[in-house]
Amino acid sequence: MNVFFRRAAAALMSLVMLGAAGAQSLTAAADDAALDVLTASDTTFENYMKSQGFPESYKPYLRTMHANHPNWVFTAQKTGLDWNTVLAEECVVGRNLVHDGAPDSWKSCEKGAFDAPSGTWYGLDGTWVAASEGIIAYYLDPRNFINDDYIFMFENQSYNKSVHKKSGVKAILKGTFMSGDFTAPDTGVTYNYAQTFMDAAKESGVSPYHLASRCRNEQGVYGAPQSLGTVPGYEGYFNFFDINAYYTSTMTAGEMACKYASTYDPTYWLPWTNQYKSIIGGSIFLGNGFINRQQDTLYLQKFDVIDGGNGLYYHQYMTCVFGQANEAIEMKNAYTSEVLASAIEFKIPVYSNMPSAACVKPSSTGDNNNLLTRFDAITSDGVDLLANFYRYTQEYSFTVDSGVSYVTFNCIPYSRAASVSGAGKKTLEYGENTFVVKVKASSGVVRSYTLHITRKGGSSSLKKGDVNGDGKIDVKDSLLVMNFTSGKTKLTSAQKKRADVTGDGKVDVKDSLRIMQYVSGKIKTL
């Protein structure tokens, strides 16, 4: 019982003993005492958050959690990483997935994730597809989970014998295929699942609650073939933690899991020819691979943002973008009121340059298809600067002659539900001009295509060989002619005249070579 409640209880007892006569003055004294305690407590916690280095945007959530759970310990885990860098790394296609039945706004339309012509997503792990930046940002942002429902994704996952009890494990496994006993098919020995996870915790140093909830999340209520020993071709092999379980062109994730289970490695009790060996060995694998390498919370096992010897970003236990959130709820539900009142430590990551407010969960029913199937940039002399436009390239730079006075952008999106702004006829001023064309998907997500077009000064100042019109003759001009001859780019009529340095009335590789000879000093004039 904390100080406030002890003093309030004492005040209440005094009221009973003194009767109504002294009630008013004693009540006032009790209120003052309680206010003093709360004020002191608030000040102490405010100073603690400051000393930890929690950003201001974290503090409202932490204040609520501290008020509800005064014994809990919140540690700021300073990653030293930039938020935008981390988000970009986690958006690498394949690192975070959602089920194909998830809202389309949760699915990525980036290269390797989405087939724009057909409007369909690639299955990257069976029926799982790449997650969108919006949903990744939501689950990556710690502020969204500093609450009673999800705080346990930040719990320190090391085994604590004074906290972790068999009864808690039984609560996690209740209602699942792991709720009672099992018999090892290779030895005939009968074990209890809850006790097995307690044994695994002692062997691995990992919380048995974490181990049990992870297996429940991986294998489901009724068990998957790899936890039932029924994978075709690998009957009698078990992999409760789905270690090395991923799809290949020839094998399912379950087959890959049991293929690993059939290998030999005494460190991890392999081969896993029964349930007990799989749970114990898998727990040791998890401890050695994650918990003992500073990835000791559910969050850090999902998002590899602490380098404990494995580098960053790729050493991630699961690809499901919300897997750690599901397991966090299982962890909370496993705890008794007595455990929840103890001094549990929560390690909460902090990044630099974070958004001012917590990232919002995408809620649109629309998709993120903000790609252009066609983008023409037609100059006043009829040249399409974007003849080689590619839908995933979002920034371009061009140089045009002084006589090119305008450019017209014609844009067609893949999705009929997408809208385009910034297209049409644009006047070109002398010097650099920057134009941005924005494509808004039906989900509201915007993709920007940026064009930098430099219009040079009067054409009289341009010399033979200065093909790109930048006022000098160098290797860029030679490469521009070479790209023209190979069909990779187009030249304006004025550029063709300057490129024809051989004077034979055509632009070909001979002109490119002659310019290169001039640049290298082999010839003195063009």
**Same-domain status, 325 and 385:** no
**Same-domain status, 232 and 287:** yes
Q: pLDDT tens-digit profile of 189-241? A: 999 999 999 999 999 999 898 899 889 988 999 999 999 999 999 999 999 99
**Same-domain status, 174 and 259:** yes
Is residue 246 left, alpha or beta, with left meaning phi > 0 and alpha meaning psi from -120 to 50?
A: beta
Residue 367 is assigned to a structural domain of this protein: no
Q: What is the DSSP letter of 362?
A: P
- Domain count across the chain: 4
Cα separations in angstroms, 379 against 52, 78, 408:
58, 51, 6
Task: Report how far residue 340's alpha carbon sits from residue 334's, in angstroms, rounded to the nearest whole number.
Answer: 10
Torsion sign over Cα 251, 252, 257, 258: negative
CA dihedral 335, 142, 114, 397 (to 10 degrees): -170
**Same-domain status, 340 and 432:** no
Q: What is the mean pLDDT of residues 250-261?
A: 95
State pTM to two decimals.
0.69
* Per-residue pLDDT at 334: 73
Q: pLDDT tens-digit profile of 327-357? A: 899 888 877 777 788 888 999 999 999 999 9
* Per-residue pLDDT at 461: 57
Residue 83 is assigned to a structural domain of this protein: no
- Residue 8 pLDDT > 50: no
**Same-domain status, 16 and 42:** yes
- Residue 254 pLDDT > 80: yes
pLDDT greater at residue 3 or residue 374: 374
Q: 489: domain CATH number?
A: 1.10.1330.10
Residue 431 is assigned to a structural domain of this protein: yes
Pinpoint the alpha helices (H) of 262-390: 275-289, 298-302, 323-334, 337-340
Residue 8 is assigned to a structural domain of this protein: yes
Q: Are 86 and 355 in contact (CB under 8 A)?
A: no
Q: pLDDT tens-digit profile of 432-447? A: 899 999 999 999 999 9
**Same-domain status, 424 and 505:** no
Residue 391 is assigned to a structural domain of this protein: yes
Residue 17 is assigned to a structural domain of this protein: yes
Q: pLDDT tens-digit profile of 120-156? A: 999 998 899 999 999 999 999 999 999 999 999 999 9
* Per-residue pLDDT at 40: 55
For 268, the domain range is 145-347
Q: Are 406 and 428 in contact (CB under 8 A)?
A: yes
Residue 122 is assigned to a structural domain of this protein: no
Q: Are 315 and 291 in contact (CB under 8 A)?
A: no
